Structure formats: structure tokens, C-alpha cells
Structure 1
Amino acid sequence: MASAFPLQPPVDHTPRDRTEIVIGDDEPSRVLQTLSSDTAQKLLDVLSERPRTASEVADAVGTSIQNAQYHLTRLAEAGLIEAVDTWYSSKGREMTVYALVAEEFVIQFSANCHRSS
């Protein structure tokens, strides 16, 4: 039976060239904690190729979909990736498509951070 929805239509998403992430006193480690995970780094690498669903990312890095979804959620909360589209599985289930928010990330420490004298 043919689906009424295209399963994987093209995703119209162009990440910004660069985004700056400022690490400050108010939220000093969320981004760094998220990026400290080898799995999160692998997911970012896979998403740098093209937007993908959680199941595609999981397959590409050899992890469970639950583990991939956990890291995708943390990467999205840290502002490194975003949901850019929705695809439908052959069973009609919605699947979120994720992509990088930028091609290049620059992490800076704010001037308010404590400095040694």
C-alpha cells in the first residue's frame, strides 16, 4: 500500500556559517558537559553530513535509538542542533529530522568568568 506522505522528502535547511557559544557564570557547563560525550561528538559528526532522523543517526554511529535520542535531546537543549523537519515512517509515525544549527561553533568564556591574577 502506497503512503499518502513522502517518507523522506528533501530537507530545506541551511545551517548558519558560524555561531558563538558563550560560557558564563549562569550556565557554565551545559554545553561542555554535552560535548564531553564521545557519542554526542559522533552524532554531531554524522549530522554535519546532512540532516537525519534519530534512527538514522543511531544506525550511523552504531548505538541504540534510545541512546541517540538522549544525546540528540541534550545537543538540542545546548543549542547545537535543532529539529528542522518531520518525516513519516512507513507505519505513519512522525520522525523528527535533526540538523546542525551552524557549520562552525566557537566557544568563548564570558568576561564575567573568574580569572586567576
Structure 2
Amino acid sequence: MSGLLPSDGDVDVGGEGSPRVHLFDDEETEELIGSLSCATAREILSSLHESPATAAELADSVDTSIQNVRHHLGNLEDAELVQLAGTRYSEKGREMKVYAPTDDPFVVCVGGVDDDGAREGIVDAIESFLE
């Protein structure tokens, strides 16, 4: 029997974006590396690359609590590795957020890049490589 509310809503998983280049000593890089330092966070991100999912679905797929998944999703969102892609409704009619990876490639550079001009050169080189 089908419910009144759709259980499988369309989600926007976006397209491949421009590569992000991070210098090793940037605050952004610290947040990025910190968000991926836990195996559970990496499992969540890997699972999202297979298919967009809700926190409850992720908790089942990585065998952890919903609270733990929400914690890691928050960190991954802050690091711009995960995005809110839409909503679904549970069998009980509750609206649930659906998450997906951002799919923006990123590169972390260690040393040798001190100014914005050098950063732009690296971004251009990486973009030409990915085309």
C-alpha cells in the first residue's frame, strides 16, 4: 500500500564542480582533513558516493547511531564535502533530509605555494588535467 506522501523524492546530486585547491596550512584544509580523520566519516562519504541517503539510512549502512551520523554529516557539510540534496518522507510522514556528496574534486598542496598567483597557476593546471 502506498502512502500519501512520496517516500522517494527527487534529489539534486549536482554535477562535477571546479577543483578546489587547498594549501596545507589553511584553516579550510584543517577543517577538511579533520572531517575525514574518522573512519566512520569516510564510510559515510563513501556510502553517499554510491547513493544519496538520509541520516537513518546512513546509520544502517555504516552500522552506527543516527546521532553519530548527524555529527559526522555536520562536519562533512562544514568542509563542503556533503550537501543537502533534497527531502524524503518516512512511512510515518516525517520529513527527512537527504544528503549527497558535493563531487567537487579537491587537492591539498603541501609547501611551496605562498601567494594567490601561485594558487591560481595550480588551479589552472589541475583543471586542464581534469578536462
- Determine which structure has the larger helix proportion and give its number: 2
Match of 2:124 in 1: none
In the TM superposition, structure 1's runs of 4+ consecutive aligned residues that sit over 6 Å from their partners are none
- Determine which structure has the larger strand proportion and give its number: 1
Aligned residue identity for 1:66:
Q
Larger radius of gyration: 2
1:40 aligns with 2:79: no
Aligned residue identity for 1:20:
R
Aligned residue identity for 1:44:
L
TM (normalized to structure 2)? Answer: 0.73
- Number of aligned residues: 112
Q: After alignment, is 19-28 or 57-66 more displaced?
A: 19-28
Match of 2:128 in 1: none
Percent of counterpart pairs with the same letter? Answer: 38
Q: Unaligned stretches of 5+ in structure 1?
A: 113-117
Contact 1:54-1:68 at 8 Å conserved across structures: yes
Aligned 1:14-33 pairs, distance under 5 A: 14-16=14-16, 19-23=19-23, 24-33=25-34
TM (normalized to structure 1)? Answer: 0.81
